[in-house]
Structure 1
Amino acid sequence: MIPEEDDSLTPRPPRRWWHLAAVDVTPLRRHRDFRLLFVSRFVSFFGSMITTVAFPYQVYQLTHSVLLVGALGVLEFGAILAFAFLGGALADARDRRSMVLLSEAALMGCSLLLAGNAALAQPQVWLLFIVATAWGLFDALQRPSLDAMLPRLVDTDELAAAAALGSIRSTLGQILGPALGGVLIAAFGLSVTYLVDVGTFLVGLASLGMMRAVPPPVDAERPSFRRVIEGLRYARSRQELIGTYVVDMVAMFFGMPLALFPAIAQNLGGARVLGLLYAAPAVGSFLFSATSGWTNRVHRHGLGVIVAATIWGVAIIGFGLSPVLWAALFFLGLAGAADMMSGVFRSVIWNQTIPDSLRGRLAAIEMLSYTSGPALGNFEAGVVASIFSVRVSVVSGGVLCVIACVLCAAALPLFRAYDARLYHLAPDPRPDSVKRENQ
């Protein structure tokens, strides 16, 4: 038998810088269900981003209150807070694909309700707040199953690439959705805009329906309060997880200006400018994601999250001080790139440190962390703007974001020092009897 040649001794040509930076599409090429999920989330999220522009715009047009626009986020977060742990427990005990499907259908119903309300001669403001609450409820039931599915669809060494692809998917939606949303509102009105979202939900549901089932672990127990506490204890025992939650929450709480966009756009050109403001962070996110190949060679993910959150705060300060539209869009783009950098590194930490038996419940905690900051931050921004001014609200929020990131870096040394090369999965928190049955 002829021995195989040792490739390790064969010199290889150096890789070009653009090869090192280019996004890794291996998960899309290798895994059918990941492709279907990618298509479903891209189309559905694209439509949701259209509604994300239309929804606060409609509230502001009906009430002329930035405080009430911010209250939308508080109601949505309140529902997420109430149902997130139920969604996490169900994700660890039920078929995850089915949970995503059912929640997606319910969210489509919310958009149908918005379209019907917008078609009325006098749209009802109270109904908008009910829909915001329902939106949070169904999102809380869907997101843990959605997040917990990913490690079951790709290989472990493809997690960073899958996270980057998910970032590209979401940022494309954030770019195209708000931009189209502003055009649709100006050209056809709010009811048609919401109906476009309904159409994207139908495409997303069809793609999800073609996926194979993603059943829970074989030793899954029924959802219970004890199971929720088990997940909370595990999260508390891992400072690297606590760091991902806290840093993102404080950055978004102090530096989230989205609730102020309708008021800012009112002075800059109306609905079309509003779409640009919403799309600008997504452009930055997309540019980062499209050149994210280098993230596979980063191992200090905790430090990366802290640096990214600090850059976000600096960019928000620049946005608040911008005298012209192009400068404001530039700093929003920089903020979006920093947010995506943080998201990629946080996703890798989560998927490296959480056992499959706990992924649903820990995904619920993750969801609370990355939704609570923006939801409460939008309300905080509205309160400060109503007391002082829009500019004071944006700039002061960015300054407090930077200060909070520095304090987090000092208070969380294990998170700051996290190195994926030295990581070892923590002991499985399940009882020994359960683990023996699964062997």
Structure 2
Amino acid sequence: MTGTTSSSTEPDDPAAPARRRIFADLTPLRVSPDYRRLWVGNTVSWMGSAMTSFAVALQVYDITRSSFSVGLVGLCSLVPLVLFGLYGGAVADSVDRRKLGLYSAGGLAALSVVLAAAALSGYHQVWLLYTVVALQSICGALNAPARSAMVPRLLPPEQLPAANALQSVTTTSGFVVGPALGGVVVGLFGFQAAYLIDAVAFSGALYAMWRLPSMLPDRGEDKRGRASVLDGLRFLAGRPNIRMTFFSDMCAMVLAQPKALFPAIAVVWYGGDAKVAGLLGGATAAGALLGGLFSGWQGRIRRHGLAILLSVAGWGLAIAVFGLTRNLWLGVFFLALAGWMDTVSMVFRTTMLQAATPDDMRGRLQGVFIVVVVGGPRLGDFLAGSVADLTTPTLAITGGGLACALAVGLLALRWRGFARYDARSPEA
């Protein structure tokens, strides 16, 4: 019904194809009510989660007046997410993904209620905040692989790039809007208001999951009831194209990740303060958001492997040039350009992972994806900080960007078939 309606209205609007060539392709939202509900619910709940994450950091600092204590919030989030990322993917390949997504989203909503109740009762204890953050990460590690593995069951393969571009809009807009909204809400109404808003925001995700059909993994001839993490890693070992999506992302996130140096270079390079550091950090997110909003052209690209190689190399080169700039606005421009390249890479990497992976392996591979996406930037922060302390920030940033471009070029030479990957006949 929806497909008929969409196709019948498009000829009446001759400008529609031109808009899709420029702006994000909204076809997945039009043709699939299930996907539309899932995307809207995920967008609202993601902004609420980003708001809560910022509010927790503010509350920890309000209690302790310690930046180190605030830093521990990230550690409490990172460790469970990495440890449970692979496990969550295996669970998503063993059970009904709809139920897993529903229960884990319900857990996240309940944890926000716990935070709100504690704030309302005046129970301000850092250990409780750390515990809730860790439990939220566990629920998120179960929820994300299940939710991502659902998308290829809701849309045809040719619409996956558009769907992943829309997901990038959700993610980056949450990073941009969530903290700003959290600061305003906490400032006006207190911590409990931010946590209650987050709990209510999860109702959209819960409703979307509730309306979905059953999402049991399609096992084909394999009727085993339990999916093994090791089976997923063995599958990955024999699939060079999928492995390359992870390798290329690690090149960008580990070798060319300047975020940890923003506070220092804001002062040393630009003579600024925390506001300048915030501007540098927001530039990459703004570029990524623009990349998602102006992503219509990506749906016509078939050589996804080549697009990933070029965009990762583009990220590295943009970071390298940023390392040579001493003009603030020129630096912001190149960081935004790097963010744009990151969105392009993410769209095609995710699409390849969804299209070239059999349904019974999608959860486990999404678990690996989470570990890479979460762990890579943290390793990159450590590497950039270490190199900058031993040498200079310029060498750390520019050298890292050039190393990223060189590394992805060497990977392309080692696995030449990756550049020839064609979305019309996806091969893992």
Q: TM-score range by the shorter chain?
A: 0.7 to 0.9
The yes-or-no answer on 1:335 pairing with 2:364 is: no
Q: 1:326 to 1:119 in 2, by over 3 A?
A: farther
Shift of 1:231: 1.9
State the 1:297 CA deviation.
2.0
Measure how far apart 1:27 and its partner are. Answer: 1.5
Decide which of 286, 289, 303 is 1:286's aligned counterpart: 289
Task: Write the distance in 1 (CA, Å) between the matches of 2:330 and 2:200.
Answer: 35
C-alpha root-mean-square deviation of aligned residues, in Å? 3.6
Quote the residue 1:359 is aligned against: 362
Deviations 1:356-409 (A, max 9, x none): 122112222222222221233344445556777777655554344334333333
2:411 to 392, 408, 418: 408
Q: For residue 235 of structure 1, what is the aligned residue in structure 2?
A: 236
Q: 1:383 to 1:118 in 2, by over 3 A?
A: farther
Q: Which residue of 2 is the match for residue 377 of structure 1?
A: 380
Q: Which is worse superposed, 84-93 or 237-246?
A: 84-93
Whether 1:295 and 2:304 are equivalent positions in the alignment is: no
Task: Give 2:165's aligned residue.
Answer: 164
Task: Indicate conservation of the 8 Å contact 1:22/1:291, yes or no.
Answer: yes
Q: Distance in 1 between matches of 2:174 and 2:101?
A: 19
**What is the one-letter code of the residue matched to 1:410?**
L
Work out the CA distance in 1 between the residues paired with 2:284 and 2:344.
12
Q: What is the SS of the residue equivalent to 1:415?
A: helix
Deviation at 1:170, TM superposition (A): 2.5
Conservation of the 8 A alpha-carbon contact between 2:27 and 2:159: yes
Task: For 1:194 and 1:366, locate their aligned partners in 2 and report how far apart those are by CA, in whole Å.
Answer: 28
**8 A contact 1:33–1:211 mirrored in 2:** yes
The 8 Å contact of residues 21 and 291 in structure 1, kept in 2 or not, is answered as yes
Q: Work out whether residues 257 and 381 of structure 1, in 8 Å CA contact, stay in contact via their aligned partners in 2.
A: yes
**Kindly tell me: are residues 400 and 265 of structure 1, through their superposed partners in 2, closer, same or farther at Cα, counting changes over 3 Å?**
same
Q: Name the CA distance, whole Å, in 2 between partners of 1:190 and 1:322.
A: 40
Provide the rounded CA distance (Å) in 1 between the counterparts of 2:252 and 2:156. Answer: 31
Determine the structure 2 residue equivalent to 1:47.
Answer: 48
Q: Is the 8 A contact 2:34 2:208 kept in 1?
A: no
Instruction: For 1:303, give the aligned amino acid.
Output: L
The Cα of 1:73 is off from its aligned counterpart by 4.6
Q: Which residue is equivalent to 2:312?
A: 309
Contact 2:84 2:142 in 1 (8 A): yes
The 8 Å contact of residues 70 and 259 in structure 1, kept in 2 or not, is answered as no
Letter of the 1:90 counterpart: V
Distance 2:182 2:57 in 1: 12
Aligned partners of 1:111 and 1:194 also within 8 Å = yes
Query: Counterpart amino acid of 1:369?
Result: V
CA shift, 1:143, in A, is 1.4
Partner of 1:254: 255
2:9 match: none
C-alpha displacement of 1:334: 1.6
**Residues 1:183 and 1:289: Cα distance change in structure 2 (over 3 Å):** same
- Secondary structure at 2:30's aligned position in 1? helix
Cα distance 1:195–1:396, how it changes in 2: closer, same or farther (>3 A)? farther
Q: How many residues align?
A: 408
* Residue equivalent to 2:23: 22
Within-5 A mapping of 1:39-438: 39-55=40-56, 62-65=65-68, 72-112=73-113, 124-184=125-185, 192-217=193-218, 220-224=223-227, 227-259=228-260, 268=272, 270=274, 276-320=279-323, 323=326, 326-381=329-384, 394-421=397-424, 423=425, 425=427
Shift of residue 56, structure 1, vs aligned partner: 5.2
Decide whether aligned partners of structure 1 residues 209 and 18 sit closer, same or farther in structure 2, where only a CA change above 3 A counts. Answer: closer
| Residue 34 (str. 1) matches residue 35 (str. 2) | yes
1:301, 1:76 → 2: CA distance? 32
Q: Shift of the alpha carbon at 1:228? A: 2.7
Of 241-250 and 80-89, the range deviating more from structure 2:
80-89
Paired residue for 2:4? none
Q: Distance in 2 between matches of 1:334 and 1:87?
A: 33
Identity of aligned residues (%): 38
- Residue 92 of structure 1 and its aligned partner are, at CA, apart by 1.7
Aligned 8 A contact 1:53 1:278 in 2: no
Structure 2 vs 1, CA of residues 223 and 411 (structure 1 numbering), >3 Å: closer, same or farther?
same
Distance 1:233 1:214, change over 3 A: same
Amino acid aligned to 2:350: S
Q: Report if aligned partners of 1:51, 1:193 keep a CA contact under 8 Å in 2.
A: yes
Amino acid at match of 1:330: F
> CA–CA distance in 2 between the matches of 1:280 and 1:115?
32
Deviation at 1:202, TM superposition (A): 3.4
Give the direction of change, closer, same or farther, for the CA distance of 1:381–1:74 in structure 2 (3 Å limit).
Answer: farther
Q: Secondary structure at the match of 1:215?
A: coil
Provide the rounded CA distance (Å) in 2 between the counterparts of 1:350 and 1:218: 17
CA distance in 1, matches of 2:21, 2:70: 43
Instruction: Give yes or no for contact 2:241–2:427 (8 Å, CA) kept in 1.
Output: no
Cα deviation, residue 136, structure 1: 2.9
Does structure 2 conserve the Cα–Cα contact (< 8 Å) formed by 1:255 and 1:401? yes
Q: Which amino acid is the alignment partner of residue 348 of structure 2?
A: F
Which stretch has the larger CA shift, 284-293 or 115-124? 115-124
Partner of 2:8: none
